[in-house]
């Protein structure tokens, strides 16, 4: 995954998607927005305490730089669920213009020119493209969503609507790394032993990015079609928002994906 400057913003982009000219995608950094303080500057979520006017301005900036239709911008309502929603015409703009009535942590669409957003600030953002059925997905996976298998459920949904695993591509964006993600035993022990390192005093270092990678692989997706960024948001707090790195008060990054005609 490498960083690309596009106008005023800077995005991490995955090699697995760059072969597809019809796919616009990226994982945002803090760069290029108008928010201030803990939200400086490209904070994307309307639900984290940032000035809503600034968030809307940031949405405009992101869509302008990527030449996306802001009226169609559609996002999750992240509540650490394992709910995957398919976005049809009636649901274009949900999460941005029209609030969801319930938690939705992953969105899928087969519609062209409908950008899907997921938010993160240490949690794991995942973008997916099923080439054969022309479908895209944006997924938010914290530890609860990861435990609920949300990445896997999203890929399974794509398979259910006709995708073949070999035609599915996925990018796992910057998230808190195993270097920094210390959790108690009650969280770590929900996962297989290979995903954590035990420390003294019932503390564990958990690798959530790797769990999501394996969840996608378990669906039959080829390893070479999955990118795991391996970039830690807390270690690089100057470039990324980090919930832990900023003591719980931070802006949010976004994973964004859109399919053109
Ligand atoms: Zn780290």
Q: Which residues of 150-159 are buried (b: 16+ CB within 10 A; e: fewer)?
A: bbbbbbbbbb
Q: What is the DSSP letter of 39?
A: G
Given a contact cutoff of 8 angstroms between Cβ atoms, the answer to whether 171 and 20 are in contact is no
Q: What is the pLDDT of residue 210?
A: 98
Confirm whether pTM is higher than 0.85. yes
Domain CATH code at residue 170: 3.60.140.10
Spatial neighbors of 103 by CB under 8 A, at least 6 apart, are: 77, 78, 79, 80, 81, 83
Q: What is the pLDDT of residue 186?
A: 97
Location of structure tokens 């997924």: 139
CA 122 to ligand 1 centroid distance, Å: 10
Chain centre distance of CA 229:
12
Domain extent at residue 86 = 2-259
Q: What is the pLDDT of residue 165?
A: 98
- 3-class secondary-structure state, position 58: helix
Distance CA 49, CA 252 (A): 10
pLDDT, tens digit only, all 261 positions of the chain: 999 999 999 999 999 999 999 999 999 999 999 999 999 999 999 999 999 999 999 999 999 999 999 999 999 999 999 999 999 999 999 999 999 999 999 999 999 999 999 999 999 999 999 999 999 999 999 999 999 999 999 999 999 999 999 999 999 999 999 999 999 999 999 999 999 999 999 999 999 999 999 999 999 999 999 999 999 999 999 999 999 999 999 999 999 999 999
Q: What is the pLDDT of residue 206?
A: 98
CA 246 to ligand 1 centroid distance, Å: 13
Distance CA 187, CA 203 (A): 10
Written as one string, the DSSP assignment of 151-177 is HHHHHHHHHHTT--GGGEEEEE--B--
Q: What is the pLDDT of residue 176?
A: 98
Spatial neighbors of 138 by CB under 8 A, at least 6 apart, are: 75, 76, 106, 107, 116, 117, 118, 125, 126, 127, 128, 255, 256, 257
Written as one string, the DSSP assignment of 108-156 is EE--TT--EEEEESSSEEEEEEETTTTEEEEEEE-HHHHHTTHHHHHHH
CA 232 to ligand 1 centroid distance, Å: 5
CA 235 to ligand 1 centroid distance, Å: 4
Radius of gyration of the chain (CA): 17
The total of structural domains in the chain comes to: 1
Location of structure tokens 């969105």: 107
CA 247 to ligand 1 centroid distance, Å: 15
Q: What is the pLDDT of residue 37?
A: 96
Distance CA 213, CA 206 (A): 14
CA 180 to ligand 1 centroid distance, Å: 4
Given a contact cutoff of 8 angstroms between Cβ atoms, the answer to whether 24 and 69 are in contact is no
Distance CA 156, CA 137 (A): 12
Q: Which residues surround ligand 1, an ion (CB under 5 A)?
A: 177, 179-180, 232, 234-235
Q: What is the pLDDT of residue 4?
A: 97
CA 48 to ligand 1 centroid distance, Å: 22
């Amino acid at each position: 995954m490498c960083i690309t400057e596009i106008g005023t913003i800077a995005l991490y982009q995955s090699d697995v998607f760059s072969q597809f000219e019809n796919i616009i995608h990226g994982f945002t950094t803090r760069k290029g927005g108008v928010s201030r303080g803990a939200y400086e500057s490209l904070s994307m979520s309307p639900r984290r305490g940032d000035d809503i006017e600034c968030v809307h301005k940031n949405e405009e900036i992101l869509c302008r730089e990527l030449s996306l239709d802001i009226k169609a911008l559609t996002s999750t309502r992240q509540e650490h669920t394992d709910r995957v929603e398919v976005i049809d015409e009636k649901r274009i703009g949900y999460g941005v213009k029209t609030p969801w009535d319930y938690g939705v942590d992953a969105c899928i669409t087969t519609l062209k020119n409908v950008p899907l957003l997921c938010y993160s600030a240490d949690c794991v953002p995942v973008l997916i493209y099923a080439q054969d059925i022309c479908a895209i997905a944006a997924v938010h996976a914290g530890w609860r969503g990861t435990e609920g298998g949300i990445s896997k459920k999203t890929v399974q949904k794509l398979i259910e609507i006709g995708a073949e695993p070999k035609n599915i591509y996925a990018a796992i964006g910057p998230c808190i790394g195993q270097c920094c993600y210390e959790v108690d035993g009650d969280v770590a022990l929900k996962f297989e032993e290979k995903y954590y390192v035990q420390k003294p005093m019932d503390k564990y270092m958990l690798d959530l990015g790797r769990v999501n990678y394996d969840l996608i692989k378990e669906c039959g997706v080829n390893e070479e079609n999955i990118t795991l960024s391996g970039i830690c948001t807390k270690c690089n707090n100057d470039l990324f928002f980090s919930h832990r790195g900023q003591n719980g008060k931070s802006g949010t990054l976004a994973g964004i994906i859109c399919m053109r005609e």
